[in-house]
Structure formats: C-alpha cells, structure tokens
Amino acid sequence: MGAQLKTVPWITETYQHSSKNVSPARTLNLYPEAVKQPAGKVGMILVGTPGTEIAYDLSTHGAATCRGLWYTSTGRLFGVYGVKVIEFPDPLSNGISGITVTTVRMQLTAGIAPVSMTDNGKYLVMADGYGIHLYNLTTDLSEDATYTFDNPTQVRYINNRVVAINNVNQFYWSDLGLDGVLNWDALSVASAESSADSIISMASRQGDIWLFGERSFEVWRTASNPDLPFSKVGGSSTEIGCGAPGSVASIADQVFWLGSSTAGKDVVYMSNGYGAKRISNHAIENLIGSTSDYSKSAVAFTYQQEGHTFYCLNLIDANRTLVFDLATGLWHERATRDPNSNQQSKWTAIFSSYAFGRVYVGNGDSPSLLELKLDKYDEYDGRAIVRIHEGPVLWNNLQIAQHLEFQVDMETGVGLQTGQGSDPQAMLQYSDDSGHTWSSEAWTTIGGIGTYQTRARWRRLGQSRARVYRLTISDPIKVTILGGRAGIKPTRRP
C-alpha cells in the first residue's frame, strides 16, 4: 500500500550551515515571498528572480564596464563607463518606445575604481579617488571645483551642501547653495570623534550623514553654525565599523553594511535608529567568513521591485552574491552562469538605479546598461538563469523510510510557444547524506504552454534515513514554487 502525499517543509531561504548535517538549504535565483492569508494557498512561495535586457548598448562608444550610476533630482540618468560619463535619455522621451541615443557628456582622467555620484539639482558631482568632477546640468558643460584635500573617494548631498571623504579621519563639505560645490574652503573640515580609524565609507539617511571606519561608525546631522554646519548625534557612536567600503548602501530610510570591529568581522548590519541591527545569521556569516580576506572587496547596491527591497551583497573575489530582502527578512542568492566554465558565478550586476519607471543595473562584464524585468526569464545575451532550490533535511528520528514519490507544487503550463522552453523541464536530485553527495539527475516535464494541470513529480526514489531534495530549472520560463509534497512510507527497519 502506498503512502499518502503530504506537504513537507520545503520552502526556505538560503541557510547553508557550516555543517551540512544541520542545514544544506540553498535558494539560488529564487526569492521567498510571503503570501497574505487566508487569500493564498500557502503562506510562503519562491519567485524567480528577474531576467535582464539590454536597455542601452554602449559598444559604439568604445565604453568599458560600469563604474557608477546616478539618477539626478532633475530626472536625468548618468553612468560612468571606463573614463566616460554617459547620459541615458528616457526611452519614451521622443514618443517612440525603444528609440534611444546615449551621449558621452564628459571624460574623467583615469581610474578603474567605482565612482561615487550625487547631485544638488544644478551639478552632477563625482568622486573617483583622484578628484572631484562636476557636470553642469543646466549648461551641459564640465566645470572645475576648487578644493585642497587629496584623492576624494565618495560624495553625498546633505542639506544644500556636498560632503566628501578621502580615507582619512576627516570629512569635508562644500560651500552652501547650488554653486557652493564649486568651492570647498580649506577650513570646511571636521574629524570623526569616536575612533582614530580612517573614514572609509559613508551614507546619507533622513538628512544625516553616516561615517564608517573599520572599527566604528558615527552619525552627524546638520547644524545652524555656519562655521561648523554639522554636529555629531549624541549616542550614535558604536564600536561596529565597516569591513568593506563598497558594502555600504541605503534605501527605504535604512543603511546596510558589512560590519567589522576589534572583536571580529563579516556580520551584516542594518541601521536601527542611530544604532546597528544584525540581519545576517550564522549560516550567512559562515558563507562570508569562509571567503577569508575576500570580504574586503565586497560591493553592494539596493533596489526595490514589487514591494521587495533588496540589499545585494556581491562578494567580488569570492565569486558569490548574497541578497537580503527587507520585506521578509530572508536571504537568497543570485548568480550568473559563466559561459566558459558553465559554473554559477557571482551576479554580474554591481550598480543599480531606478529611473524612468524602470530598474536599471550596470554590470561588470559588458559595456551596456541593463533593465531588470520580471517578465524576462534569461540573461541579456541569451544565457540561461539557472534556478536551484535545496530544501531542508527531511527525516523522522533517523528511521529508514521509503520515498515513493516527491512532487513540487508549482505553476505549470507556462512553457513558451517555440524554441528553448517550449517543453520546459525540471531536474530533481536527492542526497541521503545531508548534501555531501547527490544522486543522478531525474528529469520531468513541467508542461508546455496551456497545460496547467501538469504535475511535476518523481516516483520510486528509494530509501533513506534523512533526505534532501534539490530542484533545478534552467529553461527561460516563469517559475513560481508553492511547496513540496512527499509520499514517504515508514519501514520497520531501525
């Protein structure tokens, strides 16, 4: 007599513990989404991450890969590619969708490092580690700023001034007003007070400036004193610093960063008032920490889409991308398939900007600006987006049981009309040693277009004391996973 199919706890976030026997769970190119009850069939689902489409091809400019993106307060989108500052017009500005003309507005002197960008409504302000560069948004001409400090690395606009840092224990500010950015008085400087470590990164939040060192951070707000227009917020000093300057990012009145202190590193934090709230878990911290010193090269960006607010932490040297969703408080991973090795590598997106009603990303492997599209299911160059979900360990006091069937509850019948994806397939593997080794591949159809009653199921799956199921889908189709069901029959074997 067979066993009745029962729902099993299978929808999870990425939680790959240092011991796979505890948890091998991994969610790649899928993200958990909470479903309002009682309207929804289940409380949590997995949704496929967006595909990418070339919005602007910059190969005609001989441009290199992206170093920074900024959508100005006046509604103009700029990016730095190599040494070229390029403007991207609204694709609908001439009334014809898809007709775009990109324009090189100015050129920087040198460099390959990320370019920090901001604006005050009149000037686009850029810092590249060599100098401050200005582009007048009114005259469409580049202009020079007068300043006395060296090698500015980041700039932020705060209350009618632009603030800059340059990897020492000081920060600097421009004169007041739209034209104030042209002049930076030699006395317009203050030192961080909490620690003697250098200010390596900063963020703006609700009119405050957050200054990060490797061993501390502190918050300054605007003040009425014209000689010292910023004052430190009392009680904002902590001994939690930043372990990767590029990991600091802000969105939705929150600041995120990869932490570091005299006690340790590789914990991810989010602002909590003027303090810090740990949002990583032990498994995520193990993934970051296992990269050793590679975490110093981490870069991050944020974006929002369909109510999800994502903090994307790209571990550049470790070749892995971890993503925190503020909507659920859960983690997942993003990856781009390497066409040479056919292996999953870090997500190539490294900058983002919301402009013209679209989410754009600058990527690190082509001279183009990409749009993130939830209704596109492959990469901009046709590469497949490989979606993998490894669920938690299924076990019953380590007693041997027969696995008669495993079924994935998912939206089926969403195949394409022709070509790759017209007969979409799902591949299942299982592991009886908590994800250390895996079975051979077993494939099943998930339904051509319109075959909505198709069931994704696998039968005669052997025996196990404890089992992990891994699902892989690489066809360019919509993927929505509602859960897993299993037919498991206990045996009398201990």
Instruction: Give yes or no for a contact between 396 and 432, defined as CB atoms under 8 angstroms apart.
Output: no
Banded model confidence at residue 293, pLDDT cuts 50, 70, 90:
low
Residue 89 has pLDDT above 60, yes or no: yes
Mean pLDDT of 375-379: 95
Mean pLDDT of 453-469: 94
pLDDT at residue 99, rounded to an integer: 44
How many other C-beta atoms lie within 10 A of the C-beta of residue 75? 10
pLDDT at residue 61, rounded to an integer: 87
Prior bond of 226 cis (ω within 30°):
no
Banded model confidence at residue 374, pLDDT cuts 50, 70, 90:
very high
- C-alpha 68/C-alpha 352 separation (Å) is 8
Express each pLDDT in 128-181 by its tens digit.
999 999 999 999 999 999 999 999 999 999 999 999 999 999 999 999 999 999
Banded model confidence at residue 110, pLDDT cuts 50, 70, 90:
confident
Mean pLDDT of 13-41: 94
**One-letter amino acid of 397:** N
- C-alpha 290/C-alpha 16 separation (Å) is 12
How many other C-beta atoms lie within 10 A of the C-beta of residue 340? 7
Write the Ramachandran bin of 83: left for phi over 0, alpha for psi from -120 to 50, otherwise beta.
alpha
Residue 313 has pLDDT above 50, yes or no: yes
Q: Tell me how far CA of residue 275 lies from CA of 51, 217, 239, in angstroms.
A: 36, 9, 10
Helix (H, G, I), strand (E, B) or coil at 330: strand
As a residue count, the chain comes to: 494
The residue with tokens 């950015």 is: 181
Q: Which of 30-39, 50-59, 219-228, 307-316 has the lowest mean pLDDT?
A: 219-228
pLDDT at residue 357, rounded to an integer: 94
Q: Tell me how far CA of residue 457 lies from CA of 89, 454, 469, in angstroms.
A: 48, 9, 12
Residue 444 has pLDDT above 80, yes or no: yes
Q: Tell me how far CA of residue 317 lies from CA of 152, 174, 291, 321, in angstroms.
A: 24, 35, 8, 11
Banded model confidence at residue 100, pLDDT cuts 50, 70, 90:
low
Instruction: Give the mean pLDDT of the chain.
Output: 92
Residue 108 has pLDDT above 60, yes or no: yes
Residue 494 has pLDDT above 80, yes or no: no
pLDDT at residue 350, rounded to an integer: 94
CA angle centred on 448, ends 446 and 449, rounded to 5°: 125
Long-range contacts, 315-318 (Cβ 8 Å, 24+): 315/288, 315/291, 315/346, 316/346, 317/291, 318/288, 318/291, 318/294, 318/346
Give every strand in the sheet of 208-212, ordered side by side: 201-205, 208-212, 217-222, 230-232
Mean pLDDT of 355-368: 93
Write the Ramachandran bin of 306: left for phi over 0, alpha for psi from -120 to 50, otherwise beta.
left
Q: What DSSP line would sit under 412-436, residue for residue?
A: -----SSSTTSS-EEEEEEESSTTS
- C-alpha 327/C-alpha 412 separation (Å) is 26
- C-alpha 102/C-alpha 112 separation (Å) is 21
Helix (H, G, I), strand (E, B) or coil at 201: strand
Q: Which of 235-239, 318-322, 330-334, 428-432 has the lowest mean pLDDT?
A: 235-239
Mean pLDDT of 4-15: 92
Instruction: Give yes or no for a contact between 248 and 200, defined as CB atoms under 8 angstroms apart.
Output: no
At 244, list the tokens: 């990767």
pLDDT at residue 97, rounded to an integer: 46
Mean pLDDT of 403-415: 95
- C-alpha 408/C-alpha 430 separation (Å) is 13
Mean pLDDT of 106-112: 89
Q: Which of 115-129, 251-265, 342-356, 455-469 has the lowest mean pLDDT?
A: 251-265
pLDDT at residue 209, rounded to an integer: 95
Residue 335 has pLDDT above 70, yes or no: yes
Reported as half-sphere exposure (CB side, CA atoms, 13 A), residue 484 has a value of 23
Domains and CATH numbers, the chain: 6-49+388-490 (2.60.120), 51-382 (2.130.10.10)
% residues pLDDT > 90 (the chain): 76
pLDDT at residue 258, rounded to an integer: 95
The DSSP secondary-structure symbol of 286 reads H
Mean pLDDT of 424-439: 95
pLDDT at residue 301, rounded to an integer: 97
The residue with tokens 């897993």 is: 484
Mean pLDDT of 354-358: 95
At 274, list the tokens: 């003027």
pLDDT at residue 24, rounded to an integer: 93
Mean pLDDT of 93-105: 68
Residue 264 has pLDDT above 90, yes or no: no
